[in-house]
Structure 1
Amino acid sequence: MTALKKEDVRADFTIDQPVATYTAEDHETWRTLFRRQAEILKGRACDEYLDGLEGLGVAADGIPDFRKLSEVLTKATGWSVVAVPGLVPDDVFFDHLANRRFPATWWIRKPEQMDYLEEPDVFHDLYGHVPLLMNPVMADFVAEYGKGGVKALKLGALPNLARLYWYTVEFGLMETPKGMRIYGAGIMSSKSESIYALESPSPNRVRFDLMRVMRTRYRIDTFQNTYFVIRSFEELFKATSPDFTPLYKALQKQPEIGAGDIVEGDKVVHRGTREGWAETPDA
């Protein structure tokens, strides 16, 4: 793929998706990842995600055109997908979300990175995140999160708010009448964590509690030690709708919780065996 020039990147870090620069290998990588996850996520992904994926028309043919996705998404929930070179500054990220623009990385991983990638690529962003933006409740939640992010930056509370995104949008689980299901994009786009998050006895699975989540450190170099479980997106939206300002003040007086700790008051769905946990520090 051709490297971007500095002048290609706008002030808000968006670019025109360089569709013409994708190679045959890039599209084949997308097809391989898509087909693999389609099989793995049967009986593992929540229905809302699968409905969104189908409604968007995201297929295994190759890397999608962001403009075509945006046409469908905008009609459904008012969101659009904008291309960015990679990770963007926090203030830019929150502003995009608050205005219902999802910043998606344009490039895709190399074949040798099929099973692990440090930075999000186009597969993670489009396949993992965008389908749930077709769901009205989740679409509203992410937009409100963006507005909350702008506020958290001013209040110096970003670490607490980042944990909410991590443990929900990226690594959230949902208990449904059909059983435990995935809704977090970080799990949804990962072959191995899609299986681990639901089936491994190693991690904790704990009922979602807003203050608990915002106190909890997380893992960036391994699978998660703890997953937080919601019952519905409506529950998540309701729990996060109050003003966070007094919550941030209360959090300043409370100690942080380790990524793998179980604490008093937790509603434990499954207490992990801790087998295979890394000894490196939490984030």
Structure 2
Amino acid sequence: MSTLSRRRGRLSPYLLILPGGLWLLLFFAVPIFQLGVTSLYDPSGSLEQGYAMTWAFGNYADALSQYWPHFVRSLVYAGIATVLCLLLGYPLAYAIAQKSGRWKNLMLVCVIAPFFTSFLVRTLAWKTILSDNGALVGFLRDVHLLDASGRLLATPIAVVLGLTYNFLPFMVLPLYANLDRLDGRLLEAANDLYASPARAFAKVTLPLSMPGLVAGTLLTFIPAAGDYINAELLGTPNEYMIGNVIDSAFLVRLDYPQAAALSFILMAAILAIVFVYIKRAGTDEVV
């Protein structure tokens, strides 16, 4: 093999990753850097007069002291929605992967079908479902789970339900991909060793599905924590999440330093949670 051919062989991997690397640099690294710079601008500036770089690290302390309840609310709502998605999504993913037979493809289409509709339209549909005059609220009142003046819309329950519905496919699909590769011979071996179905699940199925479970919870929790559409449409200002505050700071109040600082705090909090979660889950494999 000639020297030129060997050189091309060594360069091939780098040439293959070059387009993706440039894409990440231009549309991820550069905007993140600019966002970090913006978070340190003088908070007394304005969009009309311009901002001066004063290395105002106090923007972070001010943002956190003013809006820490929204951070906590976002993490709590996202955590509850993730747990609900797991409780609903794991049995569904298992049924599709192991029990659906010739209906597998149809059930998968049903899982991804909501993606064919806009996120906004789906959330507006839940606004109709949870409305005070809707069938669901009427039924709950009839069975006395809600009193005559009780409601679901404009409550934390509505926001969590919206998050759960919108992000459920992100939980189901990684779990299905993992469970579909499960070797059935392992379950047969567990049965041969007189393991009960519950014990076989706890000792075989669940451990082997941990990569899909970790991936599903991350794919659900991370976007849910930064979401603002569900709180905007299904809640009130009392249910607003940190995404609503960031949206208002960027687009309404035009307070770019504070908005950027809030964004960085949210990213840092999510990264810390993800790091601890992956370590506690006992696996670094999330696919």
- Check whether TM > 0.5: no
Which of structures 1 and 2 has the larger relative contact order (alpha carbons within 8 angstroms, sep 6+)? 2
With normalisation by structure 2, the TM-score equals 0.26
Q: Pick the structure with greater CA Rg.
A: 2
Of Structure 1 and Structure 2, the greater helix share is in 2
With normalisation by structure 1, the TM-score equals 0.26
Of Structure 1 and Structure 2, the greater strand share is in 1
